Amino acid sequence: MRVLPGCLHLYFISFLFSGAHGFLTWRIPTAFPVYNYSYSNLSSVSEAQAPKTARALNFSHNAIEKLTKRDLEGFEALEVLDLSYNRIRDVEPGALQSLLSLVSVNLSFNDEKLLLSGLPPHLELSPTGNASGSLQLSKYSGKSPEAALEPSVPTREPPPSRHPPVLENLNPRLRQSAGDLLRKGETNTTVFPVFPTATPRPSLCGTPINGTLDLSHSNLSKDELMLKLDEDACQAQLASVLELDISHNDLKMDLVSLFVLFLPMENVRSIDASSSNLTINILDVEAICKFPFHQLFFVNISHNPINSLDTLCLPPTIKEIDLSFTNISQIPRNFAAKLLNLENMYVQGNHFIYTASPDSGNALPACVPPPGTVHIEAISLVRTQFGTPIESLPNKVKHLGMSNCSIVELPEWFADTMEELLFLDLSHNRISALPNFSPSLQHLDISSGDIRVIPPSLKSLSNLTTFNIQNNKIAEMHAEYFPSALKSCDISKNRLKVLSLTKALGNLEHLNISGNLIARLETTDPLPALSSLDSSHNLIPELPDGLGDSLPALKYLNLLGNKISFLQRGSLPASLVELDIGDNAITTIVEDTFAPLTSLRVLTVQGRHFFCTCDSYWFVNVYMHQPQLQIRGRGDVRCSFPPDRRGSLVESSRLTLLRCSLGLQLGITAGTAALAALLLTALCWHFHGLWYIRMGWYWCMAKRRQYEKRPENKLYDAFISYSEHDAAWTKENLLERLENDRFKVCYHERDFKPGHPVLGNIFYCIENSQKVLFVLSPSFVNSCWCQYELYFAEHRVLNENLDSLIMIVLEDLPPHSVPQKFSKLRKLLRRKTYLKWSPEEHKQKLFWHQLRAVLRTTNEPLVRAENGAAQEMYELE
């Protein structure tokens, strides 16, 4: 057996110097042109545009449905035609008549309804055509088909093998002749013209499509695969293969033999050989494990009975390997040295076995189990390099999938060796304590384990953004132990009772706390970046106030399967887009809680605890009909109260205003109040009530700002009230004349205090003036401020019981020009003597004389002034 590694090494050397040829060196005779169009997805023979000089055409494994005369026109030299494994239903009569050189036609495994009629006289059904699915035509000439197809040129013996004879001991199956394989294939289904004994049939070569050769799910055996990947017959096809898929076959061969078949594929990048019944070679061939692949980066050999990696022989260029579900029980020490460039490694679904090495210097008692036996209690204590099944890993690995591998703990060297690790999946293992990891780790999945405590060392993973630790036994969650860069965290299905959301989780975007025992959420600091909170299957009785304020960016919230009975106002953030509150104990959906959720688009509310009373009126009649909101589970929202509605759909409840008495009363009250208000508004409009209301309001405001006691000594002799239209006459005539006569006049443009309210200034000036002069004109009765001044002056007269009003008619006031709201002015004009300005000069002298006289008189009591005015009423014209 020692000579075998040397022989293998010699073979690989000869391989490298022979231009990457394989084991079989037989050549196709150049005088027999053959064209292979199998596996080309052809729908007709003419679509291939085959040369008319072809002597053999292979159209097997296509989608051809009909054979016509036009398809075979011009092929005068054609001798062999393979149309097996198509969908041919019809052969046009006479399609084969012109093919006088035709020797063999294979129409096996086409449509069951295929019937041949009008066959040419030189063709007849072959004897093997009676087999199930087989339909073959051949030319009968009294000699074997092999002899009929021999070329007319003198035959030559196949050249001797270029490889040493000792290679025959490598694997007897690999040196099986192509002629034997063809004869085996002929006994199955396909009958093809027999070429010289050692020449592989070109019709069996696999043809890549866009660089991909897909031979998966074909139930290929090793021998059939060797034919499809034959180095000599399929050299052109193999050289163009970039991706090879031979998964889900029944190859029953070892990896070394398999990769020898791949040697002609110099440009192959990806090989998928999963679920193909592959094994690892028993002998150690590391000395010759030097494959000439330079671009092979991906190999998938999962779901194969590999069992051990000790003698693994693969190209070192591989960057990604899938060893999942291969029955391996350990990763040996030489694994890292064999695949130095490995970056992605997946070994999930295997069963790693922990062993113990007893001390050889001490004799074992009789009761001690034999070496290699470990009690289950001691598994978690095995941390030596010899006890762990993970003895080595390439230090360039970035993605490592080791889920469901019966891992109890990681070796001590793991954190220091895996310095470039970014993704680690340790889910569905038996880990009871969180191991140490490299700070480079970004994604960690350690779900479905036995972890009880999250240690402070987790904080050291400064680059960790995704942390999945669901389905463990964690009872406490300390937010200060979590990395600040964490964005997604899943702690669902644990034993948490209290959740504290602090600023330590400031960058968290997704938090899943479903399946815990949480009874209270503590929010002490806002989380501005939190965008997803999944808390389904908890036992939270009620969310506290302020959660909505603490989670302003929350978009997805899942409270499915909790015991929440009520969601109070402010418990849900307004930024929510999707909310699930199904299967809780919630009885009503209230407007105060859900109306602020303006961004909500999806709401799930199934449950059987809802109260079908008027408290649900807003939810049933308003909220469920919002066009921008999608309500899921509305068919499962059912009533629990009142008893006569129990089990019925909430949506079908007839919660109308007539049934809800409170709403009906509010409607009637609102309608009555609206009618009353309308009537009152009409009355106020007709009787100028609005003006009186405003006047009263301004009066009260002005009175409140004045002194409680009126001044005894007046500051001014007179206050002039006039409209802006009469300002020029007032300033140039009245004001100037009075001040020349040494009267102290209050003039608003000059004497109003800046910064004080206008009404306050008016009231102040009237209260501090002996007389109030009103310059009457049509513009006066249309001025709002003049109305206020007249109103305040009249109230002063009533309060002091002293007549201090002086009326000056600057322009005539027709009776119809005085508005109704100037009723006081009308009364004053009827009962008081007023002065009238005249443009005539002699009357002006009398006007100024009378005005000076009135200003110099003291204010008389109101009653006597009215009586005197009634007796001595006169008008100056």
Q: Has residue 179 got a pLDDT over 60? A: no
Q: Output the six-digit token pair for 701.
A: 């405001």
**Concatenated DSSP letters for 639-658?**
EEESGGGTTSBGGG----TT
Nearest to 417 by CA among 397, 436, 395: 395
Per the omega criterion (within 30 degrees of 0), is the bond before 642 cis? yes
What's the CA gap between 499 and 122, in Å, rounded? 89
Q: Has residue 205 got a pLDDT over 70? A: yes
Residue 392 three-state SS: coil
Q: Has residue 679 got a pLDDT over 50? A: yes
**Concatenated DSSP letters for 89-143?**
-EE-TTTTTT-TT--EEE--SS-TT----S--TT-EE-GGGGSTT--EEE---SS
Asked whether residue 12 is assigned to any structural domain, the reply reads no
pLDDT at residue 617 in the model: 84
> Same structural domain for residues 129 and 252?
no
Q: Has residue 860 got a pLDDT over 50? A: yes
Provide the 10 A C-beta neighbour count for residue 503: 13
What's the rounded mean pLDDT across residues 565-584? 80
What's the rounded mean pLDDT across residues 335-358? 85
pLDDT at residue 291 in the model: 79
> Same structural domain for residues 726 and 830?
yes
Asked whether residue 206 is assigned to any structural domain, the reply reads no
The whole-model pTM stands at: 0.52
Higher pLDDT, 293 or 461: 461
What's the CA gap between 221 and 216, in Å, rounded? 12
> Same structural domain for residues 734 and 847?
yes
Nearest to 23 by CA among 186, 296, 262: 262
Q: Output the six-digit token pair for 393.
A: 């890993």
Provide the 10 A C-beta neighbour count for residue 513: 26
pLDDT at residue 554 in the model: 67
What's the CA gap between 231 and 139, in Å, rounded? 32
Asked whether residue 392 is assigned to any structural domain, the reply reads no
Asked whether residue 846 is assigned to any structural domain, the reply reads yes
What are the counts of helices (DSSP H) followed by strands (DSSP E) for the chain?
21, 36
Q: Output the six-digit token pair for 30.
A: 């150049």
Out of 303, 328, 353, pick the residue that ends a domain.
Answer: 328
Q: Has residue 678 got a pLDDT over 60? A: yes
Higher pLDDT, 424 or 570: 424
Lowest mean pLDDT among 177-186, 252-261, 425-434, 717-726: 177-186
> Same structural domain for residues 733 and 847?
yes
Cβ neighbours for 210, distance < 8 A, ≥ 6 positions apart: none
Count of domains forming the chain: 3
Contact 540, 517 (CB under 8 A): no
pLDDT at residue 13 in the model: 33
> Same structural domain for residues 845 and 723?
yes
Among 284-293, 464-473, 514-523, 851-860, the range of highest mean pLDDT: 464-473
Q: Output the six-digit token pair for 645.
A: 């509605």
Asked whether residue 393 is assigned to any structural domain, the reply reads no
Output phi, psi for 616, to 5 deg.
-95, 10
Among 37-41, 152-156, 545-549, 644-648, the range of highest mean pLDDT: 644-648
Q: Output the six-digit token pair for 731.
A: 């300033």
pLDDT at residue 593 in the model: 86
Q: Has residue 536 got a pLDDT over 70? A: no
**pLDDT tens string 589-646:** 888 888 988 989 999 888 888 888 888 888 888 888 888 999 998 888 888 888 888 8
Q: How far does the chain reach from its first CA to its final CA, in angstroms?
A: 152
Q: Has residue 177 got a pLDDT over 50? A: no
Task: Return the H-helix or E-strand segment holding 844.
Answer: helix 841-856
pLDDT at residue 37 in the model: 86
Higher pLDDT, 825 or 376: 825
Asked whether residue 760 is assigned to any structural domain, the reply reads yes
Nearest to 457 by CA among 431, 427, 434: 434
> Same structural domain for residues 831 and 740?
yes
CATH at 217: 3.80.10.10
pLDDT at residue 713 in the model: 77
Provide the 10 A C-beta neighbour count for residue 257: 19
CATH at 757: 3.40.50.10140
Ramachandran assignment for 217, one of left (phi > 0), alpha (psi -120 to 50 degrees), beta (any other): left
Q: Has residue 243 got a pLDDT over 50? A: yes
Q: Output the six-digit token pair for 312.
A: 């693994």
Q: What is the DSSP letter of 825?
A: H
Would you mind telling me the total number of residues written for the chain in this entry? Answer: 877
Lowest mean pLDDT among 37-46, 175-184, 452-461: 175-184
pLDDT at residue 94 in the model: 83
**pLDDT tens string 446-483:** 999 999 999 999 999 999 999 999 999 988 888 889 89
Domain enclosing residue 95, as ranges: 30-139
Q: Output the six-digit token pair for 387.
A: 């006890």
Asked whether residue 764 is assigned to any structural domain, the reply reads yes
pLDDT grade, residue 704 (50/70/90)? low
pLDDT grade, residue 5 (50/70/90)? very low
Nearest to 299 by CA among 351, 352, 223, 247: 247
Nearest to 25 by CA among 149, 164, 146: 164
> Same structural domain for residues 749 and 848?
yes
Q: Has residue 330 got a pLDDT over 80? A: yes
What's the rounded mean pLDDT across residues 748-763? 81
pLDDT at residue 454 in the model: 92
Asked whether residue 871 is assigned to any structural domain, the reply reads no
pLDDT grade, residue 272 (50/70/90)? very high
Out of 275, 299, 328, pick the residue that ends a domain.
Answer: 328
Nearest to 581 by CA among 650, 546, 534, 651: 534
Nearest to 343 by CA among 365, 322, 369: 322
pLDDT at residue 189 in the model: 33
pLDDT grade, residue 395 (50/70/90)? very high
What's the CA gap between 161 and 155, in Å, rounded? 18
Q: Has residue 364 got a pLDDT over 50? A: no
Which residue in this structure is represented by tokens 């919230």? 557
> Same structural domain for residues 725 and 821?
yes
Which residue in this structure is represented by tokens 């076995």? 353
pLDDT at residue 161 in the model: 37
pLDDT at residue 701 in the model: 63
pLDDT at residue 26 in the model: 31
pLDDT grade, residue 176 (50/70/90)? very low
Higher pLDDT, 327 or 178: 327
Which residue in this structure is represented by tokens 């897909």? 214
What's the CA gap between 589 and 595, in Å, rounded? 10
What is the torsional sign of CA 288, 290, 296, 300?
positive
> Same structural domain for residues 112 and 222?
no
pLDDT at residue 601 in the model: 92
What's the CA gap between 251 and 216, in Å, rounded? 11
Cβ neighbours for 550, distance < 8 A, ≥ 6 positions apart: 501, 523, 525, 526, 527
Among 1-10, 30-39, 268-277, 517-526, the range of highest mean pLDDT: 268-277
Helical H segments across 302-367, by residue range: 335-338
> Same structural domain for residues 733 and 851?
yes
pLDDT at residue 531 in the model: 47
Percent of the chain with pLDDT strictly greater than 90 = 19
pLDDT at residue 628 in the model: 92
Q: Has residue 1 got a pLDDT over 60? A: no
- Per the prediction, the chain carries an average pLDDT of 75
Lowest mean pLDDT among 73-77, 252-256, 364-368, 445-449: 364-368
What's the rounded mean pLDDT across residues 332-346? 92
Out of 328, 343, 371, pick the residue that ends a domain.
Answer: 328
pLDDT grade, residue 92 (50/70/90)? confident
> Same structural domain for residues 124 and 242?
no
